[in-house]
Amino acid sequence: MPSRWMAHSSFSSDHFIGVDLLGVARAILGGAKIMSTCKNKVLTLVFVLRPGEVLLGYKKRGFAQGWWNGFGGKVEAGETIEEGAKRELHEESGLSVSNELDHVGVLMFEFVNDPVLLEVHVYRTYSYTGTPIETEEMKPQWFKHQDIPYKDMWPDDKLWYSLMLNGKYFNGNFKFEGLTNLLEYEINEITK
Ligand SMILES: COc1nc(N)nc2c1ncn2[C@H]1C[C@H](O)[C@@H](COP(=O)(O)OP(=O)(O)OP(=O)(O)O)O1
């Protein structure tokens, strides 16, 4: 969300890769403009962890079909973002979480020629009940951190997964042209 761009302006050089300063300035200014004209679509993305491994789901249909991702989707009317995250996790993987999820980040995605910004709330948890099951939408599989299949994932994922896996808090802004061409981005680690 553009306001978050402003609120957390301390860039971590470790995670601020591949964008020149002019590009960042343009992106921030562009963000401010976008904020006044766009409506955000609020989505969730949940990562279930066990020591050294993360559970990902292979998307069998719809948006980003054929790619691996965490579990999540649109927040429905009448539910909090975290309730939406738990519901989507259960629908897509069969797992339930009764404790609070750890809210580790917010990612903003802009797509060229699309006025709608995606506001993706990222959660992680080590605490869950159930056994992952294949659903109509996702096929779950545990991956060791070193085996995460980044080539079959959204191009932004390799840029922020290490923060998420290491329990850091972060936000990010990404501008895509189509689904595979990441034009600009910035990622900020947040000190709580
Ligand atoms: C653009 O980059 C993205 N990267 C990553 N890693 N994840 C993303 C990106 N854009 C969206 N997502 C996530 C956010 C959600 O978890 C899903 C999209 O959810 P979907 O559109 O399938 O929402 P549902 O409510 O499940 O939709 P249907 O019920 O209509 O299937 O991807």
What is the CA(56)–ligand 1 centre distance, in A?
13
Helix (H, G, I), strand (E, B) or coil at 75: coil
Higher pLDDT, residue 172 or 1:
172
Q: Is the pLDDT of residue 54 over 60?
A: yes
The reported pLDDT for the residue numbered 56 is 98
The reported pLDDT for the residue numbered 85 is 98
Q: Is the pLDDT of residue 21 over 90?
A: no
Tally of domains within the chain: 1
Q: How far apart are CA 21 and CA 27, in angstroms?
A: 10
Mutate to test the pocket of ligand 1, among 153, 154, 174 (most ligand atoms within 8 A of CB): 154
Average pLDDT over the chain, rounded to an integer: 84
Q: Which domain holds residue 128?
A: 2-190
The continuous run of DSSP H or E covering 158 comes out as helix 157-165
Q: Which range is least confidently modeled, 7-11, 19-23, 163-167, 171-175?
A: 7-11
Mean pLDDT to the nearest integer, 158-180? 97
Q: Is the pLDDT of residue 170 over 90?
A: yes
pLDDT band of residue 192 (cuts 50, 70, 90) is: confident
What is the CA(23)–ligand 1 centre distance, in A?
26
The reported pLDDT for the residue numbered 39 is 77
Task: Indicate which atom in ligand 1 lies nearest the CA of residue 120.
Answer: 14
Q: pLDDT tens for residues 87-134? A: 999 999 999 999 999 999 999 999 999 999 999 999 999 999 999 999
Percent of the chain with pLDDT over 70: 80
The reported pLDDT for the residue numbered 23 is 37
Q: How far apart are CA 188 and CA 15, in angstroms?
A: 7
Helix/strand number for the chain, H first, E second: 4, 8
Residue 137 DSSP symbol? S
Identity of the amino acid at 103:
H
CATH number at residue 107: 3.90.79.10
The reported pLDDT for the residue numbered 61 is 92
Mean pLDDT to the nearest integer, 13-25? 34
What is the CA(9)–ligand 1 centre distance, in A?
26
